Amino acid sequence: MLRGSPTKLIRNVWALYEIKKRILMKRLLYLILFLIQSFIVNGQRGYYVKDSLMSIGVNLIDGGAIKNAQQCQIGEKKKTLIYSPDEVKEYGFKDGSVYISRIVKINNEEKKVFLERLSKGNINLYYYKDKKGKKFFLEKDSGQLVEVLKKGIDNSNYKNFLNPYIQDCNNVTEALKLVTYSKPSLTKFIDQYNSCLHKPFPFIKYGLIIGYGISKPLNSKISDKVLKNAVFKNDNTFNFGLFADIPILLSYFSLHPEMYIQKNAFSSHYNFGNTVTDIIMNTTSINIPLFIRYTYPTLKLRPYVNIGGTFTYNVRNNNAVYTATISNDIIEIEETNNSNIYSAKQIGYAVGGGIQYNIDYRKSLFFEVRYNNSYGLTKETYGNKSFQCIIGINY
């Protein structure tokens, strides 16, 4: 018990607090330095476990999926050490790839190999590859490895096989319908099961689009005074086509190519001095945009944004320029047919955003607003700019 005057007592308590605070801060600093050092070591190099000892910061050699399943290779100065699955229990690369030594049945024969661990949690998923092909193995509760066959003897497939193992997480029921027998897809699925999150499962989509656009020629490459100052009316037209949506590394970013057909009829009536110019351009174009799309992973209504490049080829490109010159009450009309003032080939960019409405686990409706800007590939030619409203459906 502390004795003395209240002032002295307060000073003693405060001094004790300062000592404990310094000790705590010192320990915290040591812990942070230790974690940083461990992160740097593990982040730059690999590791392996032999007997009960772990060697960290070694130079592991990646020999590819087939060779990695058979041996662990470590580079040491001018030589390479090679360990078999009987000698090394586990090894891992700096990119996070981990290989575990396990006994599996391959071609009805038990064999000790290195399995790449793709997912860790309530279910562990492993991958093995040799010259004959690839295999996946599951491990749950009992610790026993079970092969995930693409097609069983009873004609059941891998989805039927996985179903009993995921009954304790209803959030991945729809994802099971979309998973494919591939390394990225199965890894994504088991990761989603282990976290038991209800999120959309990325998969390749194909579908149809129909749009309505407001277009106008773009005169940024025109230097001729008459043509440059021509004022065109907006042309409102429909377009229709196809699209694909391909997830990038099974993320919510995707590669989104489209191809659609569009017809346009542009006209301009322009007075310049004593000259009246009429320009008529009738086109039928094949448009091929290639977008990078990000779709926010909500369940029902999913906002998304697009950005990318476009290529346009005008398979029909009929242009005519009519020039009427008034001189001394005499009108002279000159007609130039098939004038190449509208570029047959155009490149440009497009940006857009919209909403995806999920009808069920596979089908979706899309509504998007988009801006396009295309430039002619040749000089002294018009390009095109347009606003579009697009509706799509995938199946």
- The tens digit of pLDDT for each residue in 253-293 reads 999 999 999 999 999 988 777 778 889 999 999 999 999 99
Question: Of the given ranges (2-16, 87-101, 284-298, 324-338), which has the lowest mean pLDDT?
Answer: 2-16
**Confidence at residue 2, expressed as pLDDT on a 0 to 100 scale:** 47
The residue written with tokens 């347009």 in the block is 386
pTM score, two decimals?
Answer: 0.81
**Mean local confidence (pLDDT), 330-357:** 84
**pLDDT, tens digit, for every residue of 166-187?**
999 999 999 999 999 999 999 9
Cα–Cα separations (whole angstroms), residue 32 to 38, 39, 40, 185: 10, 10, 12, 37
Query: Integer distance in angstroms from the first to the last C-alpha of the chain?
Result: 79
* Contact between residue 74 and residue 80 where contact means Cβ atoms under 8 Å apart: yes
Three-class DSSP category at 335: strand
Which residues neighbour 42 within 8 Å (Cβ) at sequence distance 6 or greater? 56, 57, 94
**Confidence at residue 74, expressed as pLDDT on a 0 to 100 scale:** 94
Half-sphere exposure of 204 (CA within 13 A, CB side): 6
**pLDDT, tens digit, for every residue of 92-127?**
999 999 999 999 988 888 999 999 999 999 999 999
Report the chain's mean pLDDT, rounded to a whole number.
Answer: 88
Residue 30 has pLDDT above 60, yes or no: no
Residue spans of alpha helices (H) in the chain:
6-44, 65-68, 158-162, 173-178, 183-195, 225-228
Helices (H) and strands (E) in the chain, counts: 6, 19
Residue 386 has pLDDT above 50, yes or no: yes
**Confidence at residue 19, expressed as pLDDT on a 0 to 100 scale:** 64
Would you say the C-alpha torsion 294, 296, 302, 304 has a positive or negative sign?
negative
Residue 44 has pLDDT above 90, yes or no: no
Three-class DSSP category at 384: strand
According to DSSP, residue 229 is labeled T
The residue written with tokens 């009429």 in the block is 278
Residue 329 has pLDDT above 90, yes or no: no
pLDDT band at 12 (very low <50, low <70, confident <90, very high): low
Residue 333 has pLDDT above 80, yes or no: no
User: Quick one: which H or E segment has residue 212?
Assistant: strand 205-218
* Contact between residue 309 and residue 268 where contact means Cβ atoms under 8 Å apart: no
| Nearest CA-CA partner of 159 in 201, 112, 205, 114 | 201
* Contact between residue 262 and residue 269 where contact means Cβ atoms under 8 Å apart: no
Q: State the DSSP string of 113-128.
A: EEEEEEE-SSEEEEEE
pLDDT band at 384 (very low <50, low <70, confident <90, very high): very high
**Mean local confidence (pLDDT), 57-84:** 93
**Confidence at residue 9, expressed as pLDDT on a 0 to 100 scale:** 59
pLDDT band at 35 (very low <50, low <70, confident <90, very high): low
- 314-395-348 Cα angle (round to 5): 30
* Contact between residue 239 and residue 260 where contact means Cβ atoms under 8 Å apart: yes
Percent of the chain with pLDDT over 70: 87
| Nearest CA-CA partner of 136 in 70, 89, 177, 180 | 180
Three-class DSSP category at 223: coil
**Mean local confidence (pLDDT), 187-202:** 95
Which residues neighbour 13 within 8 Å (Cβ) at sequence distance 6 or greater? 2
Residue 324 has pLDDT above 50, yes or no: yes
* Contact between residue 183 and residue 127 where contact means Cβ atoms under 8 Å apart: yes
**Confidence at residue 231, expressed as pLDDT on a 0 to 100 scale:** 87
**Confidence at residue 26, expressed as pLDDT on a 0 to 100 scale:** 61
Question: Of the given ranges (6-20, 266-280, 296-310, 373-387), which has the lowest mean pLDDT?
Answer: 6-20
**Confidence at residue 395, expressed as pLDDT on a 0 to 100 scale:** 82
**Confidence at residue 45, expressed as pLDDT on a 0 to 100 scale:** 74
**Chain centroid to CA 63: how far?**
27
Percent of the chain with pLDDT over 90: 66
Burial of 226 (0-12, 13-18, 19+ CB in 10 A): middle
pLDDT band at 11 (very low <50, low <70, confident <90, very high): low
**pLDDT, tens digit, for every residue of 213-242?**
999 998 887 887 778 888 899 999 999 999
Q: Which residue has the higher pLDDT, 188 or 78?
A: 188
